[in-house]
Structure 1
Amino acid sequence: MAEPLLELTDLVTTYRLRAGIGRPGGEVRAVAGVSLTVHAGETVGLVGESGCGKSTVARTIVGLVRPSSGKVLFEGRDLAALPARELRRLRREIQLVFQDPYAALNPRMKVADLIKEAWRIHPGLVPRERWDAEVGALLDRVGLRPEHAGRYPHQFSGGQRQRISIARALAVRPRLIVCDEAVSALDVSVRAQILNLLGELQRDLGVAYLFISHDLGVVRHLCDRVAVMYLGKVVETGSKEDVYRRAAHPYTQALLSAAPSVDDWRGGERGEIVLSGDVPSPLDPPSGCPFRTRCWKVQDRCRDEEPALIGRDTGHPVACHFPDAPATPAADHGRVQKE
């Protein structure tokens, strides 16, 4: 297989918290050893509950947050070890589309200026005499009209603003776009339009996506491979078919059972796994397996030993000591409800 376009190796990103009223100080490992790859022209989905570290992964990849340890490799080059000039050149290869299109665009700048700003930062990418024509072409590509270039962001709907954000990302001709919950703030019909647009752009331009979302239906529609995060770690990863048809980690099984838009992972009776308790605080994560405090399969080994993300007998990597144990939850951890 060809070398990955993007490779994360044991990525750890830590935030320092100041002590406050009712809040202790300390360090939070928002990302606690994530490894994943994205190849040219493919879409990898990163899913999990809010607060599991997905957005921190995105911000670390594009350089908005520095990793505490591990590596972010782009075309085999460690971004943290590059000199400033080379890093600036490479940064245009990786673009980020934010979740909130209302906050992502400067309200004081017209659409044309928002897009041209990228060419001012990266001179020589587009000849200045071609800027206006290129703005019009980009807007047309994302489904807007060239005359929209003279308007301000507040004059557009949420879906149109997200199209502008995508046009701005495309302006520097990236090879990878990180979509951080890029459609979660949009209405369902507009969401479908943006997803179709992303698919068309990939077919036409060959761009790769790291698509971060909590919506399993959207990820299934768009992505080739999927990684599932819990408490800063990837607990299961594989092809779309592996994760959606043969989910082996209890957390993945619980997520899929609660998603009305995907087929039941059991392939037979439809049921729902209801987890009890809350996600542990990353300030004080549990010992051993991070999911053990909510897992119905928990045993003594889970409390003492953290499972590695390896293939086991599942056919794809799973971070669970007992990935094939029967789904018979204990009363104090959860229950399976049959419809």
Structure 2
Amino acid sequence: MKIKLALLDSDQNYLNRIVTAFNIKYADKLEIYSFTKLESAMAALEPSRIDVLVASDTFVVESSALPKRCQLAYFVESADVDSVNDQRAICKFQKADLIYRQILSIYSEYAGSASGLKLGDDSCKVIAFTSPCGGVGSSTMAAACALHYAARGKRTLYLNFERFGSSDAFFAAEGQFDMSGIIFALKSKKTNLSMKMESCVKQDPRGVYFYSQSKVALDMLELGADEIGRLISEARLSGNYEYVIADLEFGMDRASLQILRQAGAIVWTGDGSEISNRKLARAYQALAILEQNAEVPLTARIALIYNKFSNKSGTAVTGTELRSIGGAPRYEHASTAQVLEQLAPKELFDKIQ
């Protein structure tokens, strides 16, 4: 299924450039019609069953004259303009993929259960990072793992579900959308979630796909376990990614364990300190009790990574079957970017099964 897109602009050269760019990158997702005259565009909307009309702001389009299925937006020349005549504004002078994502976002808001995305073959692997220990750098390890796979040419999505966490601490990219749009799509149940996720995702120059933090941290508190599970499932089945790295709050309640069951591998992080080791051991023992009747217990999927490990005072966890796959020292006086640069190439991530 393709989105039927009509573009209306008096500048034929601009239309030629944008249509060419879209046809190169999104031929399988867009069916494009271009017009330089308002009358011609309006006459084509109904017979061509246009889904989205994007018109230059030099034209005045009566929204009441549009077919019910057709959504309207305006091309503008400044990125500072948010709307024209109460309709969404799209800056025409930006990368084609950013324009596409805005068009996709507009379409997703009325598409309901229809989907322009094909489900994948479920070959995507979900790796969940979490830890019963605080302050050991579980999120940093998750981000480094995402960079590790992306550097090997794998399409990798990093999802940060910590209440006060932020993907923007590790990754950066252009784009105006963030997790707030995803959360709204989940809550409203009127927006096509798969399309909304595709329209909001960003790609760091190093290759990792991610969602920027929500505008207000309280938005993340609105996400329930079922909704987190649905987001992971949508990403896994979209066919867009080979790896989904889920950075999760630690929990052993039924809802938290249900989220973990979507993961092919679970990574806990510790720092080798006495307190950290004690927490890891107790958490593992508790989980083993909870999972003793499970056909494939979660304990079998857990791998342990040591982070900020001290060769002088650090020790390994004992008394459990917790599998260690390696670790990393503390990088003194290093920035987050510098730490990630050191961690991402490590082969320990290849040992995650």
Question: TM-score, normalization: structure 2?
Answer: 0.33
- Structure index of larger Rg: 2
